[in-house]
Chains A and B, each alone.
Chain A
Amino acid sequence: MNNKEKLEGIKCKKCFYLQHISHLRCLKCKNDTFDTVEAKGDCILLTYTILHAPPMEFRDKKYYILGVVQFENGMKALGQIWPKENLIIGMKLKPIYEKVCNDLDGNEVNAYVFK
């Protein structure tokens, strides 16, 4: 799991491919040693959607915005986009760790959102 204070990815020690922390072996070369890389600074919005038909965990929301962002070091992430208006592909956003929903057992789920 992600450290709460940081948004992290991993970089393959052999081919330097940057990828999500869940990979046990490199997506590109099968190597299993990585360096942890921290997302730094602002990110830009690559694409987004305004979802009006949420899954059950998010049923208390009428709609929410999901987007894919990319940081200066190339790291990408998917998350909720909190500005609701004037969204433009390429706009700058900041990651912030927030509560996003309660799961179906009622537990609070926290994740990065982009403001």
Chain B
Amino acid sequence: MREVAIIGVGHTKFGRLNDKSLLDLLCEASLEAIEDSNTSNTDFDSVYVASMLAETLNHMTGVASALVDRIGLLPAAADHIKNGPASGGSAIKNAFYAIASGACELVLVSGAEKMTHITLPGGVTSAVATMTHHNAERIHGASLPSFAGLLTRSYMEKYNVPKEWITSIAVKNHRNGLNNPYAHFQKEITLKKAMESPIIADPLQLYDICPISDGAAAIVMCDANIAKKYCDSPILITGVGQATDTHIIYEREDLTVLNALRICSKQAYDMAKKTPNDIDVFEAHDAFTILEAIQSEDIGFFKKGEGAKAAHEGLTEIGGKIPINPSGGLKARGHPLGATGVAQVIELVWQLRGEAGKRQVADADTGITCNFGGFGNNIVSILVERM
């Protein structure tokens, strides 16, 4: 397989972006990534667009075909990747193999979601809940927040963890997001305020849950042999993994274990010949605070049951043992579904290039992501290194 490099990135502001359509957002991030990679006059072989709910929320199909037309990339191949909230990671994985195999040389990945215009109460929750198992889960009123509530209670009972330790993750991510100009929320919160916020899926509270956001993120990837032609500081993708788990969450032997993450992160570590000890920074998928805690365990940084404790003790802060979500994570950066997996990799690119400003992790050479689809039934991990 050929080595694969990231040579440019583009990231719109995440948040409530009333005057921009899904396609506007995809174009904005894509053109920025093309400019950043100095490929404005170059033909692309392929374009992968990640968006989970374009049909449902934006009444739009053929998003990838529309994007290549609008930004002048005809006749590049164009595919729309839909893998729930892991669509971004899936699109990067597909682009990686397209280049690694030798089939493509220059590829654009662009992920976006436009969600905040849906004002019907429960509207977005219902659209997202279509991922759940119809007979076993959905007809009973299950939603993703309800799964996170079930998981949080199981975790607190099994490992004797106080809720404050889990919620401290939201406080840390808001503090990091303060220094991310692209974040949906750039404001600090206190643990006291978070612990007093309304209950959404008991024991989960409002401040344990990421917002619904608009936004887009794009990267340009190429054969690493030609990367220096375009860019002084290419970042290599050296590990990629993806795995699935049971559709029905209670069919897992232990609800608090993300087996798909254990498998896909091992694939990424093995491909890159790395271990968790080699990782300097981790972008987790904290759609709910509990997910960051258990992801930090199943991806190999902490023992089972100790992820929330580690966050509470400051081990996951910038400057800690393993900085997690210096970007602010989904909690503060926001969660435009299809954009998230791409935005996670962009944060690592900025960290590895040394361009992360006040949220810079010192001497970051290697990073990994967890992009979480369904409720853990489809997870992608991407491992990146400085060239």
Contact = CB atoms under 8 A, between A and B. Distances in A.
Contact of A100 (B140, B149, B154): B140
Nearest to A59: B122
A75 B126 CA distance: 28
Interface in B224-247: 246
B201 A1 contact: no
Given A52-B199, A52-B200, A56-B123, A47 B139 contact: no
Given A19-B251, A27-B251, A55-B141, 4 more contacts: A49-B202, A50-B202, A56-B121, A59-B121
B199 to A, nearest CB: 6
Interface string B308-323: 0000000000000000
Main secondary structure of the interface of A (DSSP, over half): strand
Contacts of B246: 27
Contact of A57 (B126, B146, B151, B200): B126
Contacts of B139: 100-101, 109, 111
Contact of A49 (B137, B149, B248): B149
A47 B201 contact: no
Contacts of B200: 51-53
A46 interface: yes
B146 A49 contact: yes
A51 B143 CA distance: 9
Interface of B: 120-123, 125-126, 129, 133, 135-137, 139-143, 145-146, 149-154, 157, 198-204, 246, 248-251, 255
B141 A54 contact: yes
A79 to B, nearest CB: 5
Contact of A79 (B133, B140, B204): B140
A1 B135 contact: yes
B135 A2 contact: yes
Nearest to A70: B250
Of residues B123, B198, B202, B203, which shows the largest number of chain A Cβ atoms within 10 Å of its Cβ?
Answer: B202
26 contacts: A2-B135, A21-B135, A47-B150, A49-B146, A49-B149, A49-B203, A49-B204, A51-B143, A51-B146, A51-B200, A52-B200, A54-B125, A55-B125, A56-B120, A58-B122, A66-B140, A66-B150, A68-B150, A76-B250, A78-B136, A78-B140, A78-B142, A79-B140, A80-B140, A89-B157, A111-B140
Nearest to B153: A47
Nearest to A109: B139
A20 B136 contact: yes
A22 interface: yes
Contacts of A2: 135
A2 B134 CA distance: 12
A93 interface: no
A15 to B, nearest CB: 14
A101 B139 CA distance: 8
Contact of B149 (A50, A55, A80): A50
A68 to B, nearest CB: 5
Interface in A36-67: 46-59, 64, 66-67
Nearest to A50: B202
Contacts of B202: 49-52
Contacts of A78: 136-137, 140, 142, 248-250
Contacts of A79: 140
A112 to B, nearest CB: 8
Interface string A1-27: 110000000000000000111100001
A51 B149 contact: yes
Nearest to B134: A22
Contacts of A49: 146, 149-150, 152-153, 201-204
Given A27-B246, A27-B251, A100 B141 contact: yes
Nearest to B130: A55
- Max chain B C-beta neighbours (<10 A), residue from A50, A68, A100: A50
A74 to B, nearest CB: 11
B142 A66 contact: yes
A20 B122 CA distance: 28
